[in-house]
Amino acid sequence: MNCEHSRLYLSAYLDEELDVPGILVMQQHIDECHGCRAVLEQQASLRQALHDPALYAHPTPEFAERIRNQIRRAAQNDTESRFVSLMTPFRMGWYGWMRAAAVVGIALFIALPWAYRLRGSSERAIEEAVIAGHIRSLQAEHLVDIPSSNQHSVKPWFQGRLDFAPAVPDLGDAGWTLVGGRLDYIAGRTVAAVVYRRRLHDINVFIWPKSGAADETANPRYIQGYELLHWTRANMAYWVVSDLNRKELDEFADLLRRR
Amino acid sequence: MWPHFRAAYNLARWLTRSHDDAEDIVQEAFLRAFSACENLRGDAARPWLLAIVRNTSLNWMKRSGKIALAMGGEPELNDLREPSPDPEQSALISVDRDGVRRALEQLPVEFREALVLREIEGCSYKEIAEVAGIPLGTVMSRLSRGRDCLRRILASPAKETVT
């Protein structure tokens, strides 16, 4: 054994955590090596010093009492809750829990897809209505009721015709011309349609209130050759539909959300 | 669990080097330990409880920015003030109580925890491995390096007076 190894095992030797062959090898080396013996002596006196009871950090009696009370309280709550569970009409064993879990699982299995489909179908109906509204507005030459590129004449026009005030931001500086506003009928209610144009592409923005809805942005959809964006902000549902490409329409939607 | 209350405080106190932090940590650890398993008694409870105290302490210190190192790898001693020459030739090391306390407090936390658990708490290597979540071989090397480090720190002032 060389000194490098000896130093590594010295501390375990001191702690009597070496196996018998290890102890024998160490003993032999320490007998022969003056340097390692000195280190061992230092470590032994260091160890002695560390065993000084004054180094032990004692908690204060007040703190001990506080924790003790806390444990007692926790134990009490625990017994109380156990008592409550005893009082329930039937105590469910492991088997009972399994059965209950199975029932809940089956119920969810049936109910979830159903609820999902229900929600999905209403969402899809709105999508179709929005697309239809867009197509209608282009076909019947009835794009706008109030043709104006001035937001200050479009916005007041909605007043008195709707029970909410849709945002009509002017995005002309970003290259989105405001064409005007129109009333439309979607999902069983009158909604605001604000029309913008870029190059030859018309963009319908349908807005109506949707109270209690969380702010969220739906995945973009592509239906019948139209791009369809939808999001909810501040209890208002926004649907943007156009034959413009997705990239530009996304930029438009970002602008709209920011204003 | 209760019999190890003192050990819990001692470990937390040495790890955080703060009385207030140690009390908060012990309180948190005991509530966690209690909700986890109130029935654990006897010798098995000590390393289990101390492991909770240790992890709570380290999280606490990480959160409060007192240690920035990631536990797991072996600590580097380079950052530590290296009190140069190996004092093996002079058998004298200063082992007064306050000096030892200060030296222990300035050790990197991995060495400090191993030494506190071994020397002050009197844990076996196996228990230390359990508390710190490291293999036995690592316990051995951390104790060895920790002691060496401590020895060097303590030897430097004594050496000045000797030579």
| Cβ contacts of A132 within 8 Å, gap of 6 or more | none
Instruction: Give residue-wise pLDDT tens across range A1-25.
Output: 788 888 888 889 998 888 888 899 9
Q: Which CATH class is domain B2-63?
A: mainly alpha
Percent of chain A with pLDDT over 70: 90
Q: What is the ipTM of this complex?
A: 0.78
Nearest to A55 among B89, B101, B125 (CB): B101
Which residue numbers of B have CB closer than 8 Å to A's CBs?
1-2, 5-6, 9-10, 13-14, 22-23, 26-27, 30-31, 34-35, 38, 87-89, 91, 93, 95-97, 100-101, 104, 115, 118-120, 124-125, 140-141, 143-144, 147-148, 150-151, 154-155
* DSSP annotation of B135: -
Cα separation, A109 vs B110, in Å, equals 50
B6 CB neighbours in chain A (<8 A) are 58-59
Instruction: Give residue-wise pLDDT tens across range A113-137.
Output: 777 666 667 778 888 888 888 888 8
Instruction: Give residue-wise pLDDT tens across range A62-97.
Output: 999 998 888 888 777 766 665 555 555 455 566 667
Instruction: Give residue-wise pLDDT tens across range B16-59.
Output: 998 999 999 999 888 888 766 655 555 678 888 899 999 999 98
The topology under which CATH files domain B97-162 is Arc Repressor Mutant, subunit A (1.10.10)
* DSSP annotation of B73: B
pLDDT at position B70 is 43
A71 CB neighbours in chain B (<8 A) are 1-2, 30, 34
Average per-residue pLDDT for chain A: 84
Q: Do A49 and B100 touch (CB under 8 A)?
A: yes
Instruction: Quickly count: other Cβ atoms within 10 Å of residue B8's Cβ.
Output: 29
pLDDT at position B96 is 84
Task: Look up residue A194 and give its two tokens.
Answer: 């604000």
| Cβ contacts of B100 within 8 Å, gap of 6 or more | A46, A49, A50, A52, A55, B150, B154
Instruction: Give residue-wise pLDDT tens across range A151-165.
Output: 888 888 888 788 888
